[in-house]
Amino acid sequence: MKVQLNHPGRQKPFKLGKGYIEIGNQIVREWNNDEVHYRKFIQINGYYINDLNDTMPKYTTLYFWGEWEGNSFFTPFPKNERKQKVDYRRFPNGVHKPFHSTVIRGVHNTDPYVYGKDFKYCGCKQKGQLTRLKPDDLILFGTVVPSLNKFYIDTVFVVKNGNPSESIQKTGGMNYSQVYREEVLEQINEYLKQPTIKNNNKVYHSKTYWDDSNYFSFVPCKLSCGNAGFERLFIELNNPTFQLSKYPTGKSFLRNCPLSPQDLWKEVVVACTEQGFVLGIQFDEPTFNNTLDDLDYKK
């Protein structure tokens, strides 16, 4: 199965007091409590390979567009670095460094979750066929922007297996890290927020580079961001190879695309190379931070 899974692609506009707070000399983007999900331009350490000919994963600081609905330190890009008006559909307004704290816990969970040992997908649009994914099914998480004729891809997810919600409820999520439980599972009724036994949701785990170096999950990344960041990996909506849906919401199973999941995956890898991205294959899980416990902070 090949899935184009659309999620909101906007970033949160930067304005102090509107989801951003200043503590000492740091700006914190609070855990998202708005009505919609947002993307972030993220800096975090992790492993990457340059392309499929690179057999030696390397560990360094990586930059990418992704989701982290929890708290993050935010550094805005200097406005004078650009000589023309910034198109924030395409370019970031600053860099986020994720951290974990439940002092401020908003309504949203992070999904897909690309941090830790493997990627995880647990809830977004999980109905019908998305509750019955099989090993090696391919999900392209991203955002359709019709005005730019682009589908922006932020996560390439190859399914390894799925853990039913009922199993997670019974164990209290004990097989998952505390950060994942508090950032994700405790936020969702199907898992640990208000568990209900009868549902078909699963936490899908990704196939990693170390599982299969020829077909694995990854995030398009770069090793630096300069003073202005970069545009996400994109596929043009009229690309005949992909046969993408042009609708900005919902999901498409890409039934008109003649390629197998593995061959379509290879096409995405080619696009990464052509657009100057490396393949981020594992990222550190954000760590606990007590900045929000500061006595000067008043909610």
Domain boundaries, the chain: 2-293
pLDDT by residue (tens digit) across 61-71? 999 999 999 99
Give the residue, 215 or 298, on which the prediction is more confident: 215
pLDDT by residue (tens digit) across 82-128? 556 888 899 999 999 999 999 889 999 999 999 999 999 998 889 89
Q: Tell me, what's the pLDDT at 258? A: 94
CA 278 distance to own-chain centroid = 16
Average pLDDT of the chain is 93
C-alpha angle 235/145/16, rounded to 5°?
A: 120
Closest CA to 109 of 53, 12, 33: 33
Average pLDDT over residues 284-295: 87
Q: Tell me, what's the pLDDT at 78? A: 86
Polymer length of the chain: 299
CB-based burial of residue 199 (10 Å sphere; 0-12 exposed, 13-18 middle, 19+ buried)? middle
pLDDT band with cut points at 50, 70 and 90 for residue 299: very low
pTM, two decimal places: 0.94
